[in-house]
Amino acid sequence: MTFMTAARTTPADPPQLGLRERKKIKTRQAIRAATYALIEEQGYDATTIEQIADRAEVSPSTVFRYFPTKEDIVITDAWDPVMTEELRTRPLDESWAATLRHVMRTALDRSLAEEPEVTRLRTRLGVEVPAVRARMIESTAATGRLLRDALAERSGLDPDSLELRVFAMSVMGGLMEVSHYWAETGHRDDIRDLVDRALDVLEHGLPTGKA
């Protein structure tokens, strides 16, 4: 579930990490920062790995060591563990829609608070750059599997059954579209409201009735 997420950066984690670890984190951040800056300046396609490496003051090889693909630099989702945790802490008898509502809101609040610009840039790129969108969808699909497991627990259905898989992916498809809509309309709305509306649709069908 990449599309609206922040990567962990600010939270105080410099307790007793070795110099090595701290340097790695710094490098990682430097690469991401360089990438975002360059993309804002020149656009995604025009930004090459070499430029990113230069600005981050590392070698191109190092960039690839930290991120498997260019898209991944943009995406960097530290979110799935958070979501897993959130999902797990919700009461089992809560409706899936309520659970999702809660989980999404938590994630979005955090993401918007920590890195609002990045969050927006990311969804924008998801609309504009096919490769980024593709990568995001992969990530969303992974989250869908999490959701599937949660739904399986709640419903007693087999998580590998066609029914549950279809259901989970359909929900994720709907949520994907929210991100798309948000970016396409210039981030005009509060995405949390959009998510709420989307969940209404997913839960009860289209407003006018038949669904």
Partner DNA sequence: CCGCGAAGTGGCGGTAACTCTCATAAGCTT
Partner DNA sequence: AAGCTTATGAGAGTTACCGCCACTTCGCGG
Binding mask 173-192 for a copy of itself (x = CB under 8 A): xxxxxx-xx-----------
Residue 64 binds a copy of itself, judged by CB under 8 A = no
**What minimum distance in Å lies between the beta carbon of 211 and DNA?**
39
Which residue, 40 or 85, is less far from DNA as judged by CB?
Answer: 40
68 counts as binding a copy of itself under rule CB under 8 A: no
Residues near 204 by beta carbon (within 8 Å), at least 6 away in sequence: 211
Q: How far is CA 11 from CA 1, 6, 88, in A?
A: 20, 12, 22
50 lies in the site for DNA, by CB under 7 A: yes
Site for DNA in 70-99 (CB under 7 A): 70-71
In whole angstroms, how far apart are CA 61 and each of 23, 93, 171?
A: 17, 49, 39
Q: Does residue 37 touch DNA according to CB under 7 A?
A: no
Q: How far is the CB of 130 from DNA (least distance, A)?
A: 10
Q: What is the 3-state secondary structure (H, E, C) of 55-121?
A: HHCCCHHHHHHHCCCHHHHHHCCCHHHHHHHHHHHCCCCCCHHHHHHHHHHHHHHHHHHHCHHHHHH
Distance CA 180, CA 193 (A): 14
Binding pattern for the stretch 155-174 against a copy of itself, x by CB under 8 A and - elsewhere = xxx----xxxxxxxxxxxxx
Per rule CB under 7 A, is residue 65 in the interface with DNA? yes
Q: Which does 24 bind (CB under 5 to 8 A by kind): DNA, a copy of itself, none?
A: DNA
Q: Report the partner that residue 159 touches, choosing among a copy of itself, DNA, none (CB closer than 5 to 8 A by kind).
A: none
- Looking at the Cβ atoms of 59 and 95, the one nearer to DNA is 59
Could you report how far apart the first and last alpha carbons of the chain are, in Å? 26
**Following DSSP, what letter does each residue of 146-157 receive, concatenated?**
HHHHHHHHHH--
Q: Tokens at residue 129, please?
A: 């750059």
Which is nearer to a copy of itself, 53 or 101 (by Cβ)? 101
Which chain residues interact with a copy of itself by CB under 8 A? 95-96, 130-131, 133-134, 137-138, 151, 155-157, 162-178, 180-181, 194, 197-198, 201-203, 205-208, 210-211
